[in-house]
Structure 1
């Protein structure tokens, strides 16, 4: 039982380190990178207090040097997944009954561990596993994950503080119970912060979690596990398994104790999961919570009044940072005819200033590798198609090479067809497609932006005309859950820009806000009457 009304430390965004030449953080992360790159880590399943090595393994290699093996991870069988679920359920009561401030302390300590002794480790692991530059690793695996943990603790305390009014002789109160059962967290390769937040946010609210990281992110997921263990997270609260996603998912979703899914990944997979849950609905003890953030076909539209250099920078950063492998990455652009050539010349100049794609170990590289061979082959196919199609041309980039790493040059496709395949299809790579519209067709183009994509994740408008900005904000209200004015459509900061989209982009439950945490609790209203009535008759009966 709690013995006080506790105030948590005020959450502030973690400062981003520069990693400038000669800085101590640069030297530390490079040393850790070399240790990992030349090592051979063996990653087990984590079930309760056990670290299980099944003997059936898969190798882990950096996308930018796929012939170099940095370790292996062990694959779960169905029995291991069932054991993990059983362990979650056995751990649930003690964890749910733990007072909230004790849970908060664990995740606040985890944040401080990442900010301090684990910062180089989690950044270096992300550079290797996901081929992120040090800047992209720092803002993701260090700063964003720290922010998720600290701000979620603050949001949790605010949720518990939200209480109903009471009347004379009555005390009304609400307790926010964890869900009855276990949460299944499926996390993506592209953000270490998301990989940590999806299981942690549900666990913070008193839930137990079965976590399946992406096969392409297990190297850095291992560091998250190490952090949670050192922070004092009890065994069994978050159990971690890897392996066949179809088998793991079927085992999880077939359990009567399945209480919710926290997902980030592809739209098709999420839709299939929703269907599986629906087909199993009679099996479950409760209606499961379904929370998902999926794909995007994120846009930039420039008004004729927009400053060309600002538009070009928004395109370069929005489309090519982390090789375009962000759900929010700019992948379709609408430029006015009057300034399009100037803007595109500036984008070409930016691309020409990039080094040839290479390893994140070389910190002069802006572009590294895409995540794996499947992603490489898909992107190469669309680039080749654009080279041969009559209604498209490649005006920058267009080359690729996978002999050493999965390297795709930053590529700009110019199309005369606003419904060209790469204007509609999510590519998830450093490829952006541009359509040029007549200046007089600004309003029509806004309608085109809204109707082109099944997604509604992020989008940006650039303009110096406030009437045009207002028109765009209204016209595009349904096609972007995160809408940016005079900025690129990427880079949401926890506590400042809660993230999520609708349509085929997900359930828009806004990671990095209290709205997301509310999905992982089931409120119970308690009404206590101090002096109970002893006569059934109301005055109107007299």
Structure 2
């Protein structure tokens, strides 16, 4: 036993590796890609530290080469969820009672393992299983996840240190208890870092977790679980429950009296369903559950006539087409002034002419495959509709091919109607739509931006005129939880831009900040009086002097 109160190391953002030609980092990553390609992984559910092979499996394939099978994962169902709840409840007491320094050490060790010997594995798994290029995998599966681990420890320490005032002969304390029950973490396919943060942030605060990884990214999620295992995470703290159908895990988990919280990233429709299901079951639960969710966005770039043309064009290309537009922050609606749109259009076209699409193992490919056939079909349906529409036209790209992989060319649609479908509906692919507005209707265009979409996740304004920037910031105050000035609306960095949006984009609990961590505790105020009263009476209650 120690009576020390150690301070955790101050965090800093993990440096991004460049993977330049001829570098040792590039050679090591390419070698790991070859090794993983040559293996076939049998992924079980992991409950209380034990592998569970159910026999019902789904193949995990490479999106950019769908004939190549990386392995299969075993489906969890109601029986496995019941076992996981028992395991989470059994692990809860010891985990919650563990000194914060010891819990923190596990996640700090996970960060260092990921920064070192596990980096190539997580990056390569993300490249193969989710078709991310080396840079997109590096900033996600390595840097952002390392940052989540380190900064969450830092923010948790600050939260625990936040204590009430204690005047007089009393000592006031605030205990930050974990929730009374388990947390269900439901994670998306597009970011390995989010798959890591959603179960580990509640766990850091003393909670035990049931983790349902995306069926479209279970491959990288499995390696991530094994990383946490090597870091020393005790059995039963996080229980790994892959499934082809989310309801197979979600329904029995939400039916348990011990359900205490939902940490979710995914579609608005799924989140609405989960929230409704929780509401219907409120009498079942021992406590009102915590609900934290981030859904999606219809994110915008607005340019003013004073904007820098090259900066706007580059933001469009990077913000719309990095990771094939499969980011909830991707810029998928553009509002461009008529006076400079021809120059912006020419520069966007010039940049897109140099972009190649293909497998991420070829590092020269900037754009890779979309995640699967379902996504391919949904995205290309929008392209086909635009090609046939009188209200829109395809002005760049538009080609696609799924014969070997799910490849879609970066596509720009020009809408003649600002309420055309692709200006309003989330597509989640390499498709963006531009509406060209008259220069003298900038104020009206800001109204249009604010009122067009039910989402409010990210957005950007480009202008040199400071008064215009202020005008846009004020008018679009509620339109984006992450707002960018003269920068693309993607690429939030932990510790710099806490991420999340409101309206139909989620509960805006800001992953990568203390605002998220505080949702995973149930505070208890404690007052200890050193010299307690010994009689009920007060001075005011005494009779007046004769």
Task: Please classify the TM superposition score into its range, dividing by the shorter chain length.
Answer: over 0.9
| Mapping of residues 52-451 of structure 1, within 5 Å | 52-243=52-243, 244-355=245-356, 357-451=357-451
Q: C-alpha separation between the residues in 1 aligned to 2:55 and 2:63?
A: 24
- Contact (CA 8 Å) 2:303, 2:312: kept in 1 or not? yes
In the other structure, the counterpart of 1:478 is: 478
- Contact (CA 8 Å) 2:49, 2:239: kept in 1 or not? no
Deviation at 1:248, TM superposition (A): 1.0
Deviation at 1:290, TM superposition (A): 0.2
SS at match of 2:314: helix
Q: Deviations over 1:366-388 (max 9, x none)?
A: 00000000000011111000001
Q: Deviations over 1:214-244 (max 9, x none)?
A: 0111110111111100100000000011112
In the other structure, the counterpart of 2:37 is: 37
- Contact (CA 8 Å) 1:41, 1:72: kept in 2 or not? yes
SS at match of 1:4: coil
Q: Deviations over 1:325-370 (max 9, x none)?
A: 0000000000000000110111111111011x21000000000000
Deviation at 1:3, TM superposition (A): 1.6
In structure 2, the gaps of 5 or more residues are: none
SS at match of 1:20: coil
Deviation at 1:37, TM superposition (A): 1.2
In the other structure, the counterpart of 2:493 is: 493
Q: Deviations over 1:386-440 (max 9, x none)?
A: 0010111101000100000000000000011100000000000000000000000
Q: Deviations over 1:242-273 (max 9, x none)?
A: 11211211100000000000000000100110
Q: C-alpha separation between the residues in 2 aligned to 1:388 and 1:500?
A: 36
Deviation at 1:49, TM superposition (A): 2.4
Q: C-alpha separation between the residues in 2 aligned to 1:240 and 1:500?
A: 25
Q: C-alpha separation between the residues in 2 aligned to 1:137 and 1:503?
A: 29
Aligned residues: 541
Q: C-alpha separation between the residues in 1 aligned to 2:492 and 2:77?
A: 37
Give the aligned CA root-mean-square deviation in angstroms: 0.7
- Contact (CA 8 Å) 1:122, 1:223: kept in 2 or not? yes
SS at match of 2:528: strand
Q: C-alpha separation between the residues in 2 aligned to 1:396 and 1:365?
A: 18
Q: C-alpha separation between the residues in 2 aligned to 1:238 and 1:246?
A: 19
Q: C-alpha separation between the residues in 2 aligned to 1:532 and 1:456?
A: 52
Q: C-alpha separation between the residues in 1 aligned to 2:160 and 2:290?
A: 20
Q: Deviations over 1:82-132 (max 9, x none)?
A: 101111011100000001000000000000000000000000000001000
Deviation at 1:2, TM superposition (A): 6.3
Deviation at 1:162, TM superposition (A): 0.2
In structure 1, the gaps of 5 or more residues are: none
In the other structure, the counterpart of 1:535 is: 535
Q: C-alpha separation between the residues in 1 aligned to 2:463 and 2:427?
A: 27
SS at match of 1:524: strand
Q: Deviations over 1:150-173 (max 9, x none)?
A: 000000000010000001101001
SS at match of 1:338: coil
Q: C-alpha separation between the residues in 1 aligned to 2:143 and 2:153?
A: 16
Q: C-alpha separation between the residues in 1 aligned to 2:539 and 2:230?
A: 63
Q: C-alpha separation between the residues in 2 aligned to 1:445 and 1:187?
A: 35
TM-score for the superposition, normalised by structure 1 = 0.99
Deviation at 1:76, TM superposition (A): 1.4
Deviation at 1:6, TM superposition (A): 1.9
SS at match of 1:46: strand
- Contact (CA 8 Å) 1:400, 1:407: kept in 2 or not? yes
- Quick check: 429-438 or 220-229, which moved more? 220-229
Deviation at 1:4, TM superposition (A): 2.4
Q: C-alpha separation between the residues in 2 aligned to 1:131 and 1:512?
A: 25
- Contact (CA 8 Å) 1:2, 1:99: kept in 2 or not? no
Runs of 4+ in structure 1 off by over 2 angstroms are none
Q: C-alpha separation between the residues in 2 aligned to 1:76 and 1:276?
A: 20
| Mapping of residues 512-527 of structure 1, within 5 Å | 512-527=512-527
Q: Deviations over 1:16-38 (max 9, x none)?
A: 00000011111111111111112
- Contact (CA 8 Å) 1:74, 1:242: kept in 2 or not? yes
